[in-house]
C-alpha cells in the first residue's frame, strides 16, 4: 500500500476503496494521528453515517472489524472527527490531525437479560466483551474488544501515514477531549500502538 496524492493506493497503483464524505473542509498540514472508535458495530453503518451531510462528522479512514479499509477524506483535507478538542496550545484538533475510526461498539451497558449493548441498543456478544475501567473514570464497564485483523490494518495504515506526514505523536480522542470522549478506550493498547507506528523503543 502507498499514498498517492493524499490517498491510499495499492502496491501496484490501484486505488483503495474511497467513498468521499461531504463532511470535510479546508486543507490541513497534519502533525498528529488521532484514534477513535465508531461506537457502532458495523463498517457499513459507520460509512453510511459519514456519507450523510446531516451527520456533520467524518474521518479520513474507517477500519472494519475484519481489517477492511475505507478512506473517506483525503489526508490533506480537514475531516470532522475530533469536535471540541485541545492538545497543548492547539485548539480544534481537526485542523492538525488525521483521524482513523475503528469499528468498535466502545463502552457498553448490560441489559436486564444480561446481554451487552451499545448506546444504540445493538447487542455485542459476550465473547467480544471485557470488563475494564477507563483511565478517566472510576467504575468498571463492559467494552468491546478490538480484533487482531483490525489492529494489524490500523498499524499498517498508521505507519504508512507517519512515513509520509511525520507525526509528532499518536493520540486518542480521549486525550484531546477528556471528560467528553472515551475512545479508543481501555482495551486499545495505545502505548504499544504508538511505539510501533512511531518506531520508538
- HEC string of 5-48 equals CCEEECCCCCECCECCCCCEEEECCCCEEEEEECCCCCHHHHHH
Question: What is the predicted pLDDT for the residue at 79?
Answer: 97
Q: How many domains are there within the chain? A: 1
Q: What is the pTM of this model?
A: 0.94
Question: What is the predicted pLDDT for the residue at 13?
Answer: 65
Q: Is the pLDDT of residue 126 over 90?
A: yes
Q: How confident is the model at residue 200 (pLDDT cuts 50, 70, 90)?
A: low
Q: Percentage of the chain with pLDDT > 90?
A: 91
Spatial separation of the C-alpha atoms in residues 74 and 158, rounded to whole Å: 14
Spatial separation of the C-alpha atoms in residues 144 and 7, rounded to whole Å: 30
Domain that holds residue 181: 2-198
Question: What is the predicted pLDDT for the residue at 179?
Answer: 85
Report, as an integer, the average pLDDT of 81-94. 95
Helices 148-165 and 190-198, axial angle in degrees (round to 10):
40
CATH of the domain at 118: 3.40.80.10
H or E, element range at 110: strand 107-110
Question: What is the predicted pLDDT for the residue at 50?
Answer: 97
Burial class (CB in 10 A: 0-12, 13-18, 19+), 26: exposed
Provide the b/e sequence for 127-141 (b: ≥16 CB within 10 Å): ebbeebebeeeeeeb
Please report how many Cα atoms fall inside a 13 Å half-sphere around the Cα of residue 96, on the Cβ side: 18
The neighbouring-strand residues paired with 61 are 71, 100
pLDDT, one tens digit per residue, over 175-197 is 999 989 999 999 999 999 999 99
Question: What is the predicted pLDDT for the residue at 199?
Answer: 86
Amino acid at each position: 500500500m502507498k499514498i498517492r496524492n493524499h490517498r491510499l493506493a495499492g502496491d501496484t497503483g490501484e486505488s483503495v476503496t474511497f467513498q468521499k464524505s461531504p463532511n470535510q473542509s479546508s486543507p490541513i498540514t497534519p502533525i498528529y494521528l488521532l484514534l477513535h472508535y465508531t461506537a457502532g458495530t458495523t463498517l457499513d453503518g459507520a460509512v453510511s453515517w459519514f456519507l450523510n451531510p446531516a451527520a456533520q462528522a467524518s474521518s479520513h479512514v474507517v477500519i472494519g472489524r475484519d481489517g477492511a479499509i475505507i478512506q473517506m477524506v483525503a489526508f490533506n483535507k480537514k475531516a470532522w472527527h475530533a469536535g471540541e478538542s485541545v492538545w497543548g496550545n492547539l485548539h480544534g484538533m481537526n485542523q492538525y490531525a488525521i483521524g482513523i475510526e475503528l469499528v468498535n461498539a466502545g463502552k457498553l451497558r448490560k441489559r436486564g437479560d444480561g446481554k451487552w449493548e451499545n448506546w444504540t441498543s445493538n447487542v455485542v456478544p459476550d465473547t467480544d466483551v471485557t470488563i475494564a475501567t477507563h483511565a478517566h473514570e472510576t467504575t468498571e464497564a463492559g467494552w468491546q474488544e478490538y480484533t487482531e485483523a483490525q489492529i494489524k490494518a490500523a498499524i499498517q495504515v498508521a505507519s504508512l501515514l507517519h512515513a509520509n506526514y511525520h507525526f509528532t505523536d499518536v493520540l486518542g480522542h480521549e486525550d484531546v477531549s477528556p471528560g467528553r470522549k472515551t475512545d479508543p478506550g481501555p482495551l486499545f493498547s495505545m502505548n504499544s500502538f504508538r511505539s510501533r507506528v512511531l518506531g520508538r523503543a
